[in-house]
Amino acid sequence: MMSSLESICDVCYLEPIPVELPNGTMTMATKRGTVCLSTNLKLNHILYVPGLNCSLISIAQLIEENCCDVTFTKELCVIQDRTTRNPIGVGELRRAVYYLKNSTLAKT
């Protein structure tokens, strides 16, 4: 789920999907698209959720769509190419949430 429509390309409209925000209020996602997190990481069918204060990544979707492995430690989240084992992304733990470092959010 993305909080900024500017980071999403290939945007299309969809039937409204209810989404509950962390504060308990409800909003509707009415658009979806593709997001490039970096040159090596891309996610499809990402929901645009107005009112969301940050963007959230589904680890299951990340692994499936990018053929990668994700390892969590108490300080880092490392995303590796499944074949070469080279790192293709790193998340840093801050306030109990992993933040993707050097995310470009470049449009394709």
Per domain, the residue ranges of the chain are 5-100
Query: Which pLDDT score, from 0 to 100, does residue 104 have?
Result: 54
pLDDT, averaged per 10 consecutive residues of the chain (108 residues), comes to 90 94 89 91 93 88 96 96 94 92 56
DSSP assignment of 22-64: TTS-EEEEEEEEEEESSSS-EEEEEEE-TT-SS----HHHHHH
Q: What is the pLDDT of residue 106?
A: 44
pTM of the model: 0.83
What's the Cα-to-Cα distance from 45 to each of 24, 39, 48, rounded to whole Å?
24, 18, 9
The pLDDT assigned to 41 comes to 92
Q: What is the dihedral of CA 82, 87, 91, 92, to 10 degrees?
A: 140
Helix and strand numbers (H, E) in the chain are 1, 7
| pLDDT at 7 (0 to 100) | 85
